[in-house]
Amino acid sequence: SQIYVACQNGRVDQALSLGFLLCWIAGDLTNFVGCYLTNQLPIQIVTAIFYVNMDIIMISQFVYYKLKNQKMTKCKIFQ
């Protein structure tokens, strides 16, 4: 739901910080590694992979909109 709303308004780079997103993915990656190393149930491993993938999507959105909004700002300055 947050990914969809972010696509609609295009303001991901103002709503979240990159540091927060990196801490978030670090936590989900350690969760995945812990699930894998301790032979947890397959559903737990799949859930951990799902969360890591969602984090990657959020970071990708952040970078995309950050670059897009910077480009738009530069275009407005030079007009």
Task: Show the domain range for 17.
Answer: 2-77
Helix locations, the chain, DSSP H: 2-9, 12-15, 18-37, 42-77
Q: Read off the pTM.
A: 0.77
In angstroms, the CA 14 to CA 28 distance is 23
**Which of the four pLDDT bands, split at 50, 70 and 90, describes residue 52?**
very high
pLDDT at position 67 is 86
Mean pLDDT of the chain: 85
Whole-number pLDDT of residue 56: 95
- Report whether pLDDT(79) > 60: no
Question: 50 pLDDT exceeds 60?
Answer: yes
What pLDDT is attached to residue 41?
96
Number of structural domains, the chain?
1
Could you tell me which residue, 20 or 34, shows the higher pLDDT?
34
